[in-house]
């Protein structure tokens, strides 16, 4: 059995500006987040 030991970046949405949520998600995706 092999394991994937690569690092994954998953920022929290709890600190997002929910008034501009779409823009916030695009910004973290543009910066290379693996998961939201």
Residues 21, 3: Cα–Cα separation, whole Å: 34
pLDDT digits (tens, 9 = 90+) for 3-16: 878 888 889 989 88
- CA–CA separation, 12 vs 9, rounded Å? 10
- Report, as an integer, the average pLDDT of 14-32: 92
The Cα 33–Cα 18 span in angstroms is 18
Among the listed residues 35, 13, 12, the one whose alpha carbon sits nearest the alpha carbon of residue 22: 13
Whether the per-residue pLDDT at 20 is higher than 90: the answer is: yes
The pLDDT value recorded for residue 18 is 93
Degrees to nearest 5, angle at CA 11 with 8 and 28:
95
């Amino acid at each position: 059995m092999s394991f994937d030991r690569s690092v994954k970046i998953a920022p929290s949405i709890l600190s997002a500006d929910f008034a501009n949520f779409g823009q916030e998600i695009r910004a973290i995706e543009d910066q290379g987040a693996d998961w939201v």
